[in-house]
Chain A
Amino acid sequence: MTEVLDVFADGAVVTKRNLIKIIRVPEVLVWVLISPIMFVLLFGYVFGSAIDAGGVSYREFLMGGIFVQTVVFGATFTGAGMAEDMQKGIIDRFRSLPMSRSAVLFGRTASDIVYNVLSIVIMAGTGLLIGWRVRTSILEALAGFALLLLFSYAFSWVMGYIGLLVPSPEVVNNASFMVIMPLTFVANTFVPLESLPGVLRTFAEWNPVSAVAQAVRELFGNLPADYVAPDVWSLQNPVLYTLIWVAIILAIFVPLAVRQYKRAASR
């Protein structure tokens, strides 16, 4: 029990340290705030005018996809942050202290929730300006946002693990780009699944990113009235499917990342 309390106490100290950086490094804050606006406007107007999403305003359809893509990209912060701390020897300092072995990772992933909340708020605000609406209830909307945060939190642990493996923050950014781009584009984020050919379509149907996008579209009421979800279990039950993915990712990557932290050597 005291061990759990220690993780929280130490984790809170690390979280606070990471949050101070948000204020001290305006470049990061600007990126956090500007990039969601850019995503919404860019995709909303460039794609929004070109693609037919079947009845519903494509801009409204897009919002679910943009939300997911942005929070998944947000997880890169976790990886880059861990890699930077490794590179600068701060992890060595932490590891020489009698603090909890998992606190640095818990603290880092926790502070990145704050990043993601900020970018979701900005995205939602921008979305409202260009005509996106929540057409369900407050509760369902909150559930949608919670699901986004949960998924990005789980993904933060993947990136945190990667951050401890690679030699520098730049590598995290490049590596994550290679993973995140296909993951977020071979999905229903920006185009309806029906438009994808064979194998890509199967991948997209079972891609958890599709499920999250599907789930938030349902929860925000951004699907056309006559919409029928594709006949695959993952998209018929997108909330459950997302939660299963979150559980699997956390079950694998929390222990993996903590183990890597313990043995991590500085560079």
Chain B
Amino acid sequence: MTDMIRANGLVKHYGEVKALDGLDLAVPEGTVLGLLGPNGAGKTTAVRILATLLEPDAGSAEVAGIDVVADPDGVRKQIGLSGQYAAVDEHLTGFENLDMIGRLYRLGRKASRLRARELLERFDLSEAGDRPVKTYSGGMQRRLDLAGALVAEPVVLFLDEPTTGLDPRSRTESWKVIRELVKEGTTLLLTTQYLEEADHLADDIVVIDLGNAIARGTSDQLKTQVGGERVELVVESTSDLARTEAVLAEFAVGDIQVETHSRHVSAPVSGGADALIRTLRRLDENAIKVLDVGLRRPTLDDVFLELTGHAAEADTDGADKEREMISQ
């Protein structure tokens, strides 16, 4: 498989702040790469460089085999970009927005109109198509923005935090649309600070922090890297806690945690579901009543905490600085 996106050693400074510090990326054709990191990690800077909005200070990048610095216009013909803020004109109708983008891609008058109607239909905006965008809900605006990125049927698509600020229902809708796109073979680079989103949409995940990749792999690989499934259970009676701990000790591969007041017991195990079943069987034999039980695999939150030493949602000073610098 050829790489549709390839970045080598991208460096970008904003004054003193290093937004990118030698980032390498490779996205094979038809796959989805999730660029995951907190605010200020350098995700947006990476997308802006790949989408030709920004030139790197050092390093190189190719999109669809075209160098982003040497031939930015060539790249622009191959890509679609949908940004963090809905870049649609609120005074135009949905149709006018898409038609305008088509004209600027030089599709021609007729083809632009046709394409605009087609996309409105596809993104479930037909009825609202002739209303000014400012009457749209947040989710509708975001869908229109996404449609705008697809006008010229790009082979490579960049989505910069496509669901930031959306309510859960709109987010789920957006995910559905994005998954459909990917099925058709579009190569997608997606940035997100929602671990759940990367887990849902991306084939591969690159975790970035302070301008550099700190981990790569599939969602499962990253979770394995952090290690540790845990059996977690809540027992009915406090008096059962000691016996429960004894049972868990048979399977535990590490320290067992017991929280007396919540009657919550958890232990790291290996063997996944099998370990859970055997644990339950032994608890049953001991007539211990269990209220709640589960096998908890590490979330990407855990991954992030493990890799960076700080939580994913944390808004670091560096983050604020990066945004400040961008705005100058």
CB-contacts of A129-169 with B (<8 A): 167
**Chain B interface, >50% SS class:** loop
CB-CB nearest in chain B for A89 = B87
Verify A94–B53 contact, CB threshold 8 A: no
Verify A92–B77 contact, CB threshold 8 A: no
Verify B91–A21 contact, CB threshold 8 A: yes
Verify A90–B91 contact, CB threshold 8 A: no
CB-CB nearest in chain B for A20 = B92
Q: What 0/1 pattern do residues 93 to 111 of B give for CB contact below 8 A with A?
A: 0001000110111100000
Q: What 0/1 pattern do residues 42 to 59 of B give for CB contact below 8 A with A?
A: 000000100111100000
List the one stretch of A96-104, A111-119, A229-237 in contact with chain B.
A96-104
CB contacts (< 8 Å) of A267 on chain B: these are: 326-327
CB-contacts of B20-77 with A (<8 A): 48, 51-54, 73, 76-77
CB distance from A185 to the nearest CB of B (A): 32
In Å, the complex CA distance between A24 and B93 comes to: 10
CB contacts (< 8 Å) of B81 on chain A: these are: 92-93, 96
A200 CB–B CB distance under 8 Å: no
Verify B87–A20 contact, CB threshold 8 A: no
Verify B104–A89 contact, CB threshold 8 A: no
CB-CB nearest in chain B for A24 = B91
CB-CB nearest in chain A for B328 = A265
CB-CB nearest in chain B for A21 = B91
A25 CB–B CB distance under 8 Å: yes
Task: For chain A, give the interface size range.
Answer: 20 to 34
CB distance from B295 to the nearest CB of A (A): 43
The number of residues on chain B lying at the interface, defined by a beta carbon within 8 Å of a beta carbon of chain A, is: 33
CB distance from B102 to the nearest CB of A (A): 10
CB contacts (< 8 Å) of A89 on chain B: these are: 83-87
A259 CB–B CB distance under 8 Å: no
CB-contacts of B166-205 with A (<8 A): none
Verify A97–B104 contact, CB threshold 8 A: yes
A38 CB–B CB distance under 8 Å: no
**Chain A interface, >50% SS class:** helix
B228 CB–A CB distance under 8 Å: no
A17, A20, A93, A97: the one contacting B83 at CB < 8 Å is A93
CB distance from A158 to the nearest CB of B (A): 20
Verify A13–B77 contact, CB threshold 8 A: no
B222 CB–A CB distance under 8 Å: no
CB distance from B325 to the nearest CB of A (A): 9
A49 CB–B CB distance under 8 Å: no
In Å, the complex CA distance between A24 and B97 comes to: 14
CB contacts (< 8 Å) of B90 on chain A: these are: 88
B132 CB–A CB distance under 8 Å: yes
A201 CB–B CB distance under 8 Å: no
Contacts from A to B (Cβ < 8 Å): 9-10, 13, 16-17, 20-21, 24-25, 88-90, 92-99, 103, 167, 265-267
What are 20 A-B contacts with C-beta separation under 8 Å? A17-B89, A17-B92, A17-B96, A21-B92, A24-B91, A24-B132, A25-B91, A88-B87, A89-B84, A90-B87, A93-B83, A93-B88, A97-B76, A97-B101, A99-B104, A103-B104, A265-B48, A266-B83, A266-B85, A266-B326
List the 6 closest pairs (A to B, CB-CB), nearest first: A89-B87, A98-B76, A93-B87, A267-B327, A96-B81, A89-B85
List 5 extra interface pairs beyond A88-B89, A89-B85, A93-B148, CB under 8 A: A89-B86, A92-B87, A93-B87, A96-B76, A98-B77
Contacts from B to A (Cβ < 8 Å): 48, 51-54, 73, 76-77, 79-81, 83-92, 96, 100-101, 103-106, 132, 148, 326-328
